[in-house]
């Protein structure tokens, strides 16, 4: 369930211990920003924990 609900802007930790923010999700490939202009691609199943959910959807509801 957690892996299906991932969205752009979420802060996550991979199962390998890498902290990042989701920039893009395309099928089963997730692009993470992990530092200054440093991006990596991982599979959806490599995400271990969601630290902070993006509030993009929440902000849309408030306008």
pLDDT truncated to tens, each residue of the chain (63 aa)? 789 899 999 999 999 999 999 999 999 999 999 999 999 999 999 999 999 877 765 544 444
> Is residue 61 one of the residues assigned to a domain?
no
In a domain, 6, yes or no: yes
CATH number where 19 lies: 2.30.30
What does the H/E/C string look like for the chain?
Answer: CCCCCCCCCCEEEECCCCEEEEEEEECCEEEEEEECCEEEEEEHHHEEEEEECCCHHHHHHHC
Per-residue tokens: 31: 């692009």
Range of the domain at 16: 1-53
Looking at the structure of the chain, the number of domains it has is 1
Tokens of 32: 């993470």
Residues in the chain: 63
């Amino acid at each position: 369930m957690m892996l299906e609900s991932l969205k752009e802007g979420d802060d996550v930790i991979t199962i390998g211990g890498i902290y990042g923010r989701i920039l893009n999700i395309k099928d089963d490939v997730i692009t993470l920003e992990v530092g200054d202009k440093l991006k990596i691609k991982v599979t959806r199943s490599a995400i271990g924990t969601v630290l902070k959910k993006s509030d993009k959807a929440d902000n849309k509801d408030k306008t």
